[in-house]
Amino acid sequence: MINRLRELRTARGWSQGELAERLGVSRQTVNAIETEKYDPSLPLAFTIAGLFTLAIEDIFRPNGSGAAPVAARPPDRGFID
Amino acid sequence: MNDCSDAYTPRDTRNLRIFNVWAISAAVMFVAATILISRGIVARGPLAWILAIANLLLTLLAVRAYMVFLRAADELLRRIQLEGLALGFGAGAVFMLSYRLFERLGALKLDSADPFVVMAIFWAIGQYIGLRRYAPGMER
């Protein structure tokens, strides 16, 4: 999943910590979403979309062509990485 | 510079502090009760039972505090905790199932509580790996 969270946040002049406070999550979570290490849950995605008054698909979209895969699966990850 | 506090919301910090208080209390009580009972400082009788029950209650309170912490935790922190618990549980299960065979082959006999140490160590390692994997950078 790729997202525009960093772009939207910096456009408002917010730090990661400020955005985290507004969303009720940790700064680590905001950073992990921005760097695409972590995909947020659906409730958090809705909260983010609500905060920026945008639709979820205006902020998040799947990697690749843009069409959502029929069966999304988490990225392959090594045992320790 | 990043620090561990970046991984926790104020609520997580508060809940984790409560868990730590109960967990440390339970650990101290376990050690004290074990020494007092096993060395015969407290005679086996009502007082020994009170010590054992107090240890049980403190341990249950620590487990309850951890459940509260986990259920209220930031969603990424919950994922990190889950990965830590999985590694701890897996390592504990492997140790318990395999070491019994080594014991039969002559390896040192262990106490039944010892696998918990393995679980706790690997739980901590799992948390460290998770926190490092998602560690935020310099940007605040």
Asked if the C-beta of A42 comes within 8 angstroms of chain B's C-beta atoms, the answer is no
Q: Supply the pLDDT for residue B40.
A: 85
Distance from chain centroid for Cα B5: 20
Interface residue ranges in chain B relative to chain A, Cβ cutoff 8 Å = 6-9, 12, 74-77, 79, 129, 131, 133-137, 139-140
Burial group, residue A40, by CB count within 10 angstroms (0-12, 13-18, 19+): buried
In DSSP notation, chain A reads: -EE-HHHHHHHTT--HHHHHHHHTS-HHHHHHHHTTS-PPPHHHHHHHHHHTTS-HHHHEE-SSSSSPPSS--PPP--S--
B61-110: pLDDT as tens digits: 999 999 999 999 999 999 999 999 999 999 999 999 899 899 889 888 88
Full-model pTM: 0.80
Per-residue pLDDT averaged across B121-136, rounded? 91
CB pair distance less than 8 Å for A31 and B133: no
Distance separating alpha carbons of residues B110 and B114, to the nearest angstrom: 6
ipTM: 0.76
CB B55 within 8 A of CB B26: yes
* Cα dihedral: B16, B19, B20, B25 (round 10): 170
Q: Does A80 touch chain B (CB under 8 A)?
A: yes
Interface with A, mutate which of B6, B11, B122 (most A CBs under 10 A): B6
Confidence of residue B1 (pLDDT cuts 50, 70, 90): very low
The CB density around residue A9, as the number of other CB atoms within 10 Å, is 20
Mutation target to probe the A interface, by most A beta carbons within 10 A, among B8, B77, B132, B134 is: B134
| Chain B residues touching A40 at Cβ < 8 A | 75
Q: Mind giving me the DSSP string for B83-134?
A: HHHHHHHHHHHHHHHHHHHHHHTTPPP--TTHHHHHHHHHHHHHHHHHHHHT
Cα within 13 Å of Cα(B134), Cβ side:
31
Tokens of B13: 């910090």
Alpha-carbon gap, residue B32 to B54, rounded angstroms: 11
Over the stretch B31-60, which tens digit does the pLDDT of each residue have?
Answer: 999 999 888 888 888 899 999 999 999 999
Residue A41 sits at φ, ψ, to 5 deg, of -70, 165
